[in-house]
Amino acid sequence: MKKIIISNLKMNKNFKEFDSYLQTLKSEVKNFQNEIVLCPSSIYLDKLFSEKLKFSIGIQDIDHRNQGAATGSISATQVKNICEYAIVGHSERREVFKEHNQMIKEKISRCWENEITPILCIGESLKIREKGIEEIKKHLFSQLEETLNFNDNFQDIIIAYEPIWAIGTGLSATNNQILEVLEIISEKLSLISNTKNIPVLYGGSVNLDNFKDLQKISNLSGFLIGSASLDPNSLSKIINDF
Ligand code: PEP
C-alpha cells in the first residue's frame, strides 16, 4: 500500500509566500512513490488545482451541510472537483469551533456523497493521556464509534491519530505510544467496517529530525504534518526521503 504524507498549512502564507512555497516544492521534490496531499488555505485551492502538480489536494475542513446559509463555510459540493481529500475533526476545530462527533459524522457523509476521502483526526488530550491507556482507549473508541458507527455507505477514509499534546508542541509521541494506539484503532475499525486496510497516519510534531525514526513503526501508513510542512525545504526533504 502507498504511504501518505499530508501537509496541513493551516492559516499560514499570504499570496506571495504561497507562490514561492509552491515554486520551492516544484524544484526540490524529486521522485516520490507515495501519496502527497497538500492542504493549503482554501483561498489557494483553485490555484493549486490549476498548477496541475503531482500532489493531491485536500481542504482543511468542510461544512457538515451541502449548501445554504452558512456564512464563511465551504461545502463538499463546492470543492468536489478540486479536492480529493478533506480533513475533518481536527482538534483545533473540535476545541476552538466546538465541533462534536455528531457534526464530524455528518461531514464524513458529505465527503462520501461528493467523492472526497475524509481524513478523520482523532486523539486524546494530555489530561486523558495521564489517566492511562484504558482512558485513552475509551476516548478513541468513542471518537471512532460516534463518527463512523452506522455511518451508512462506508467508503474510503484515512484516520490520523493526532494526540493533542503533541500537536505544535515539538513533543512527538514515542514509537511505543503510537504502536499501542495503532492496535487500539485497528481493533475498533475492524468492528466498525469490513473495509480492510484503512490507512492510519500519525500527526504531532513530525519533523526532519524525527520522521526517519517514526517511519520504523510497522503498520503506520504515513504522517500528517503541520509546522514542519510550512518550510517547503523541510517538507521536500521529508517527501524525498520517505
Ligand atoms: C496538525 O496540526 O495536524 C499537526 C500535526 O501539527 P504539527 O505537525 O505542527 O504538530
Our answer on whether the CB atom of 225 is closer than 6 Å to any ligand 1 atom is yes
Q: What is the pLDDT of residue 58?
A: 98
State yes or no: is 64 an active-site residue.
no
Q: Given pLDDT bands bounded at 50, 70 and 90, which one contains residue 95?
A: very high
Cell numbers found for residue 88: 475533518
Q: What is the mean pLDDT of residues 171-196?
A: 92
Q: Given pLDDT bands bounded at 50, 70 and 90, which one contains residue 147?
A: very high
Our answer on whether the CB atom of 234 is closer than 6 Å to any ligand 1 atom is no
Phi, psi dihedral angles at 234 (to 5 degrees):
-65, -45
pLDDT, tens digit, for every residue of 84-93? Answer: 999 999 999 9
Give me the chain's average pLDDT, please.
95
Ligand 1 centroid distance, CA of 204 (Å): 5
CA distances 192 to 48, 50, 147, 150, 186, Å, are 35, 38, 10, 8, 10
Our answer on whether the CB atom of 5 is closer than 6 Å to any ligand 1 atom is no
Q: What is the pLDDT of residue 1?
A: 76
Cell numbers found for residue 68: 445554504
Instruction: Tell me: pLDDT of 66 over 70.
Output: yes
pLDDT, tens digit, for every residue of 211-242? Answer: 999 999 999 999 999 999 999 999 999 999 99
Q: What is the pLDDT of residue 152?
A: 59
pLDDT, tens digit, for every residue of 117-139? Answer: 999 999 999 999 999 999 999 99
- Write down the H helix ranges in the chain: 15-28, 45-51, 76-79, 91-96, 101-113, 126-131, 133-148, 175-192, 211-214, 232-241
Pick the CATH number of 4-241 from 2.30.40.10, 3.40.190.10, 3.40.720.10, 3.20.20.70: 3.20.20.70
Taking the C-alpha atoms of residue 121 and residue 88, their distance in angstroms, rounded to an integer, is 6
Which residue of 92, 224, 231, 234 sits with most ligand 1 atoms within 8 Å of its CB, as the best mutation to test the pocket?
224
Report which protein residue has its CA nearest ligand 1's atom 4.
Answer: 226
Residue 87 CA: nearest ligand 1 atom is: 3
Cell numbers found for residue 50: 490549476
Q: What is the pLDDT of residue 151?
A: 62
Query: What's the number of CA atoms in the CB half-sphere (13 Å) around residue 116?
Result: 32
Taking the C-alpha atoms of residue 66 and residue 75, their distance in angstroms, rounded to an integer, is 5
Q: What is the mean pLDDT of residues 134-160?
A: 89
Q: What is the pLDDT of residue 180?
A: 97
Our answer on whether the CB atom of 227 is closer than 6 Å to any ligand 1 atom is yes
Active-site option among 35, 90, 99, 124 = 90
Instruction: Tell me: pLDDT of 23 over 80.
Output: yes
Q: Give domain limits for the chain.
A: 4-241
Dmax (CA) of the chain: 48
Helix 133-148 vs helix 175-192: crossing angle, to nearest 10: 40
Report which protein residue has its CA nearest ligand 1's atom 6.
Answer: 226
Instruction: Tell me: pLDDT of 150 over 70.
Output: no
